[in-house]
């Protein structure tokens, strides 16, 4: 099983400012991490950065930094109580892109001692930062040997990944058109990505199709529904036979990807996202696409993205048509939106997409439909859920914009910085497209950044079933 490390851009910048102050000497810091202990991957997600003060280092030279373990003893006590993993970090201002003999000597003393400090057996480790901000690292495995972190990535307006093994830059023939546009390096990063798509119907289906044909390494598909005749006209690769035998959407799409034969691994999960196993599958990924139209589903995606440092691309489609007989079918508005959300930034709540009161109402409707209906009747909850019309052409347009957003974050190519594209709104009736930044901090989700695994899962009692 591979082990990875993820930081937010703010954490990375804080770390870089301390580790590389410009004096040419090494410096050190401790990264306390939450964890995602999964069956496919173990992810370490940065929770807190604790710089080791320069004046508390007994030695700082261009090739060595030393300090007394007494300096970090209180941090170890704190980390043990909070259930956080400890990662020692230091810099190589000389640009040496590998662990030195001095590093080996220090790590073989310190990291096992840190492991022995804890009652639980966590993956503690050590990372190095180079002058350009690139990072590499290793962790202490269960057998007592050091193993490389499979990758270290930073989630910000741009997505940065640094891998333990070098990029091959050897793309297969099917990807030749992709590499002409974005380069072999970008394709190789795509090939190594694990991406979750939650919602595999009208919008999710074309997202999945495009991601698979781009060559994404692993796709995790989450949807509890079977294919029905009413949605067969907008789920790619679905047939009337799938309707008749009652196949799950995720299985229809997984089979289609396997038939492509281009090497994408598929993990189909026929369950609602509000199931612990579904959440655990998503949080092992590098990124998540939200293709759901429920408020509580989008809330949950925003929440898990914060806990586990996942970039989250949310897609929303809106077609407003006249429902009455006189003008039935007359389109009043046809539009859609793409939201790019990064942990520690704004959220769908702070952006005004929905309110916490609406989340509560949606939760009540999911768990107790009768009570929800009564509260709507009594006037305690405004509005009811109404099925909206859906058209495959609009769904595919929004899906393309969403996938385009991923590519732009991996390979920034826009004339303006990616921070200007936190939100994209498309009005097809007026043939207009808008984009704007969303720099505000969300206090509701911000305190959860990097918490990782907790009990109950995501601190939600509804997800406590099966939480061990």
Please give the pLDDT value at position 431: 86
Please give the pLDDT value at position 142: 85
Q: What percent of the chain has pLDDT over 90?
A: 77
For 73-101, write each residue's pLDDT tens digit. 999 999 999 999 999 999 999 999 999 99
Average pLDDT of span 95-123: 95
Please give the pLDDT value at position 386: 45
- pLDDT higher than threshold 90 for residue 181: no
Please give the pLDDT value at position 280: 97
Contact between 347 and 339 (Cβ < 8 Å)? no
- pLDDT higher than threshold 90 for residue 42: yes
CA distance linking residue 211 with residue 400, whole number of Å: 10
| Residue carrying structure tokens 């909850």 | 381
Burial of 356 (0-12, 13-18, 19+ CB in 10 A): exposed
Closest CA to 307 of 452, 455, 115: 452
Contact between 242 and 253 (Cβ < 8 Å)? no
Answer whether 0.85 is exceeded by the pTM. Answer: yes
For 391-409, write each residue's pLDDT tens digit. 788 899 999 999 999 999 9
Please give the pLDDT value at position 318: 79
Contact between 272 and 281 (Cβ < 8 Å)? no
Closest CA to 287 of 2, 1, 4: 4
Model confidence at 414, in pLDDT bands (50, 70, 90)?
Answer: very high
Closest CA to 398 of 434, 438, 432, 426: 426
Please give the pLDDT value at position 424: 96
Please give the pLDDT value at position 384: 43
- pLDDT higher than threshold 60 for residue 468: no
The CATH topology of domain 173-351+392-463 is Rossmann fold (3.40.50)
Burial of 143 (0-12, 13-18, 19+ CB in 10 A): exposed
Contact between 178 and 215 (Cβ < 8 Å)? yes
Dihedral sign, CA of 339, 340, 341, 346?
negative
Please give the pLDDT value at position 174: 64
446 versus 328: which is more confidently predicted? 446
For 238-270, write each residue's pLDDT tens digit. 999 999 999 999 999 999 999 999 999 999 999
Residue spans of the domains in the chain: they are 2-163, 173-351+392-463, 355-387
Average pLDDT of span 276-297: 96
For 415-444, write each residue's pLDDT tens digit. 999 999 999 999 888 889 999 999 999 999
CA distance linking residue 78 with residue 84, whole number of Å: 8
Lowest mean pLDDT among 150-159, 187-196, 388-397: 388-397
Contact between 144 and 168 (Cβ < 8 Å)? no
- pLDDT higher than threshold 70 for residue 169: no
* Phi, then psi, of 48 in degrees rounded to 5: -145, 145
CA distance linking residue 71 with residue 113, whole number of Å: 14
Mention every residue, 6+ apart, whose C-beta is less than 8 A from residue 296: 274, 359, 362, 363, 366
The two tokens of residue 128 are 């190095």
Mention every residue, 6+ apart, whose C-beta is less than 8 A from residue 135: 5, 89, 127, 128, 129, 152, 162
- pLDDT higher than threshold 50 for residue 357: yes
Domain 2-163 part of CATH 3.40.140.10? yes
159 vs 31, 92, 132, 188, 451, CA distance in Å?
20, 23, 15, 14, 20
């Amino acid at each position: 099983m591979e082990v990875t490390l993820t930081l937010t851009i703010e954490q990375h910048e804080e770390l870089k400012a301390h580790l590389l102050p410009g004096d040419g000497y090494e410096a050190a810091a401790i990264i306390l991490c939450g964890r995602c202990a999964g069956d496919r991957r173990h992810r370490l997600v940065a929770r807190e950065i604790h710089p080791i003060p320069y004046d508390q280092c007994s030695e700082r030279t261009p090739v060595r930094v030393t300090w007394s373990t007494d300096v970090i003893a209180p941090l170890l006590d704190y980390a043990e109580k909070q259930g956080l993993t400890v990662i020692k970090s230091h810099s190589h201002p000389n640009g040496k892109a590998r662990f030195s003999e001095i590093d080996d000597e220090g790590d073989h003393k310190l990291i096992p001692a840190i492991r022995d400090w804890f009652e639980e057996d966590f993956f503690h480790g050590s990372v190095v930062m180079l002058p350009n901000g690139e990072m590499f690292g290793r962790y202490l495995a269960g057998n007592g040997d050091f193993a490389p972190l499979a990758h270290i990535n930073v989630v910000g307006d741009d997505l940065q990944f640094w891998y333990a093994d070098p990029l091959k830059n050897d793309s297969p023939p099917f990807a030749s058109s992709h590499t002409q546009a974005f380069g072999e390096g970008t394709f190789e990063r795509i090939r190594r990505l694990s991406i979750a798509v939650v919602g595999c119907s009208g919008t999710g289906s074309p997202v999945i199709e495009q991601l698979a044909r781009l060559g994404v390494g692993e796709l995790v598909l989450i949807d509890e529904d079977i294919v029905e005749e009413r949605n067969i006209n907008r789920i790619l690769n679905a047939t009337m036979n799938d309707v008749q035998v009652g196949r799950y959407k995720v299985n229809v799409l997984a089979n289609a990807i396997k038939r492509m034969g281009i090497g994408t691994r598929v993990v189909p999960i026929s369950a609602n996202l509000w199931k612990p196993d579904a959440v655990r599958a998503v949080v092992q990924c590098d990124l998540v696409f939200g293709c759901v139209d429920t408020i509580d589903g989008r809330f949950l995606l925003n929440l898990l993205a914060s806990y586990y440092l996942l970039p989250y691309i949310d897609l929303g489609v809106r077609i407003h048509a006249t429902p009455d007989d006189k003008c039935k079918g007359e389109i009043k508005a046809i539009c859609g939106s793409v939201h790019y959300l990064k942990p520690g930034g704004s959220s769908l709540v702070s952006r005004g997409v929905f309110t916490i009161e609406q989340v509560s109402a949606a939760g009540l409707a999911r768990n107790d439909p009768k009570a929800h209906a009564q509260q709507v009747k009594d006037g305690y909850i405004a509005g009811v859920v109404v099925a909206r019309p859906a058209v495959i052409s609009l769904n595919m347009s929004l899906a393309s914009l969403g996938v385009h957003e991923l590519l732009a974050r991996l390979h920034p190519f826009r004339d303006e910085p990616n921070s200007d594209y936190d939100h994209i709104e498309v009005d097809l009736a007026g043939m207009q497209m808008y984009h704007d930044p969303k720099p505000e901090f969300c206090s509701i989700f911000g305190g959860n950044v990097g918490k990782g695994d907790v009990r109950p899962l995501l601190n939600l009692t509804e997800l406590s079933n099966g939480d061990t």
